[in-house]
Structure 1
Amino acid sequence: MKNSRNIDILLRSMDAAERNTAPDARRSQNDLELILRSHPTSVGSGAGPMGYTTTTSRPSRRRRRTLALGAVAMATTAGFFIVPALSGGDPAFATWTAAPGALIGTERDSAVSDCVRSSKGVGDGMFASDVAAAEVAIAEKRGSWTTVVLSGVDGFEATCTTDTTAPWFKRGSIGSVGKPGKGQLLAPRGVRATQLGTGVIADNPLSMASGQVGTDVVAVAYTATTGERITATVSKGHFAFWFPGTELTNSSDQPVPVEVTYIDNTIETRYLSL
């Protein structure tokens, strides 16, 4: 094979990529978008960064920074790590529910251990000791999806949202880890978002909000633009909710209104921002 045509044939035969009979415009666009978003910056798509080391040389005004987990894809928005789901599981969040259920028994144990394992590996183990000492603040499920929030000293948090129906070797997860609160105490009626924005898992976008609440806060709810009321889990000084779609993409510029219920049954609209 000494002519250029044969060399081209040989090189193509060694290409590990999928072969298509015709160019796939959608795949090309997806690849381009992945490349463009694979470089962390100090400003994301509304999600708060979480104390990570970033490759940007510009100083960040935010409390946390971005770090990607996994070799297949970088984080799509600041503050999230992603282990992409390859196939299977719950396509397009079909089983998602606006009201969460509690994780119990072996299902809870499995979700927590998965979150601990994935969080310990972030940043070459830079948060391993924090994860090991953390307690479970939230363990909820929305259909096939579980969300775990771990909390520790000095404002440490780790969150993991996972499709539990996917095979373990193809399971995707999205979340964050770091010390966004810096150990600052909240007032009894305080509400502070530490993760707020949008991400993508298995090519499907989701909007997520989580953070810390004061001792007088007993419930948090969000009303989507569709009119659907989304109930957050509130437990051990933390709250969390998420829903399909990109509705919270601009949350860094537009504070997110939530309905907060206090221990005396009074209700107030508060605004989440980072």
Structure 2
Amino acid sequence: MKSEQNLDTLLRSMDAAEKCSPPNPARAQADLNRILSSQPVSTASNSKLGVGLGPAKPKANRRRRVVTLGGLAAAVTAGLLIMPALSGEGDPAFATWTAAPGTLIGSERDNAVSDCRRSTQHVGSGMYTTELSAAEVAIVERRGAWVTVILTGPDGFEASCTTDATAPWYHKGTFGSVGKPGTAGLPARGIAATQLGTGTIADKSLSIASGRVGAEVAAISYTNSAGTGVIATVAKGHFAFWLPGNELQNASDHGVPVHVTYRDGSTETQLLNFPSSSGESSLR
């Protein structure tokens, strides 16, 4: 067995620190001065050239998303422009949605209408600013946290907005359209869609139908795949309803059956579709 002296000698021979040269204070000070006097390397992009000195981590665009309504070109009638959609976060998965619409009154109604005018005024480079300022309110409905507004004006002008009213302003959820779809000459018992298809907002799908009705149409309802009757709001010659999911994804190609009630109390099932004269939409 080795003695303690021999063991100490053996351990010291394995210690790398014992082999290092003694510290050099002058060199250490020089290294410190050089580090303190150097300029830090920037990772920000050059404001003139638009390039960076290193790869920048991309920021997710959480504020804007273009709505896609069931194949875009076939989703709305000619003349309507789709407005941008923001990612709503106030009502996850449309949890508060109701098949029967509610109403808004007072300041809630006024604020919903004002928000719709404001959110649509820049669509299409502001080409409908004049019509929006003079448009009348046809429909204001509530389905849980969600509010739908339909504005109308001369020459077939129409603007629609559906908004998550509970979302904070910086995540306001809105989708809709604005334009002049032109469905003049509708018969008294006629119905015609100006929007019909499936859209997305905050990565969630929804199906929407809106348009115009003849003077004798009093009510419209749609029975969804679960057997629930979705009641439309019908007012001032217009109608609107929507439901969560992509159930109306192909409705713009084949139409969708709806139950129509007339002012004399009679009823019938009609196929809701776009007017036969409609062409492809002009979308942005």
Q: Tell me the TM-score normalised to structure 2 length.
A: 0.72
- Cα distance, 1:64 vs. partner? 3.0
- What does 1:240-259 correspond to in 2, within 5 Å? 240-259=240-259
Matched, 1:64 2:79: yes
Q: State the Cα distance separating 1:187 from its structure 2 match.
A: 1.4
In angstroms, what is the RMSD of aligned CA positions? 2.4
1:84 offset after TM fit, Å?
A: 1.8
- Does structure 2 conserve the Cα–Cα contact (< 8 Å) formed by 1:46 and 1:251? no
* 1:156-212 C-alpha deviation (Å, 9 max, x unpaired): 100000000000121010001111125x13211111111110100111110000000
Whether 1:16 aligns to 2:44 is: no
| Maintained 8 Å contact 1:47/1:196 | yes
| TM-score (structure 1 length as normaliser) | 0.75
Q: Partner of 1:124: helix, strand, or coil?
A: coil
Structure 2 match to 1:195? 195
What's the counterpart of residue 43 of structure 2?
Answer: none
Cα distance 1:45–1:244, how it changes in 2: closer, same or farther (>3 A)?
farther
Q: 1:169 to 1:17 in 2, by over 3 A?
A: closer
In the alignment of these two chains, the number of paired residues is: 220
Q: Report the counterpart of residue 167 of structure 2 in structure 1.
A: 166
Larger radius of gyration: 2
Identity %: 55
Is the CA contact (8 Å cut-off) linking 2:156 and 2:180 kept in structure 1? yes
Runs of 4+ in 1 over 3 A off after TM superposition: none
Q: Distance between the aligned counterparts of 1:46 and 1:94, measured in 2?
A: 29
- Aligned position for 2:116: 115
State the Cα distance separating 1:83 from its structure 2 match.
2.2
Quote the Cα distance in structure 1 between the aligned partners of 2:271 and 2:198: 17
Does the C-alpha gap of structure 1 residues 245 and 46 become closer, same or farther in structure 2, counting only changes over 3 Å? farther
| Deviates further, 248-257 or 152-161 | 248-257
Structure 2 residues without counterparts, runs of 5 or longer: 1-51, 275-284
Q: What does residue 156 of structure 1 align with?
A: 157
Measure how far apart 1:82 and its partner are.
Answer: 2.9
Q: Gapped runs of 5+ residues in structure 1?
A: 1-8, 19-33, 50-62, 67-79
1:56 maps to: none
Residues 257, 271 of structure 1: 8 Å contact kept:
yes
Q: 2:140 is paired with a residue of what secondary structure?
A: strand
Pairs within 5 Å for 1:1-274: 11-12=54-55, 14-17=56-59, 44=72, 46-49=74-77, 63-64=78-79, 66=81, 80-85=82-87, 88-181=89-182, 184-274=184-274
Asked if the contact 1:199–1:207 (Cα under 8 Å) also holds between the matched residues in 2, the reply is: yes
Larger RCO of the pair (alpha carbons < 8 Å, separation 6+)? 2
Q: Alpha-carbon deviations, 1:83-134, whole Å to 9, x = none?
A: 2225x30000000000000111111111100000111111111001111111
Deviations 1:212-265 (A, max 9, x none): 011111100000011010000000000000000001110122210000000000
- Given that 1:45 and 1:250 are in contact with CA atoms closer than 8 Å, whether structure 2 keeps it comes out as no
CA deviations 1:49-105 (Å, max 9, x no partner) are 5xxxxxxxxxxxxx2365xxxxxxxxxxxxx3232225x300000000000001111
